[in-house]
Amino acid sequence: MKVINIKEKFDLFDEHWTPKLIGELNGQSVKIAKVKGEFVWHNHKDEDELFYIIKGTLKIELEGEMLTLQEGDMTIIPRGVEHKPIAEEEVWLMLFEPSNTKHTGEVEHELTKKNIEKI
């Protein structure tokens, strides 16, 4: 067992839309990411995805709805739901999702990351 300092982990990288693995439990990955701008519309056919906002404001566009998450807020996007994260300013977020979850689901895009670095 060890203590993980989330702020120290965020200080290790600057790139956006590139999640970093910081832990695993019960088949779930705990990831952090810095995001800015618009992501790609996608879904995760078989996996739910939890977003927890550490810093900033994240919008998540859904079909016919817009969620706005502030620091300390979280939401769970159910499996199969199309969504598009949007960050007007840099946002720090934490993700919980099954370890086999593909970054952009079945969508191939220039932002798609196939290998998630562990930090």
pLDDT in the model for residue 104: 55
Range 4-9 average pLDDT: 96
Q: Helix (H, G, I), strand (E, B), or coil: what is residue 2? A: coil
Facing residues of 45 across strands? Answer: none
Of the pLDDT bands very low, low, confident and very high (cuts 50, 70, 90), residue 109 is low
pLDDT in the model for residue 114: 65
Return the closest-CA partner of residue 95 out of 65, 66, 75, 81.
Answer: 75
- Distances from the Cα of 3 to the Cαs of 9, 45, 57, 62, 73, in angstroms? 12, 33, 27, 35, 23
| Segment 27-82, tens digit of pLDDT | 999 999 999 999 889 888 889 999 999 999 999 999 999 999 999 999 999 999 99
Question: Structural domains in the chain?
Answer: 6-118 (2.60.120.10)
pLDDT in the model for residue 111: 59
pLDDT in the model for residue 43: 84
Which residue has tokens 């939890």? 50
Q: Is the pLDDT of residue 108 over 70?
A: no
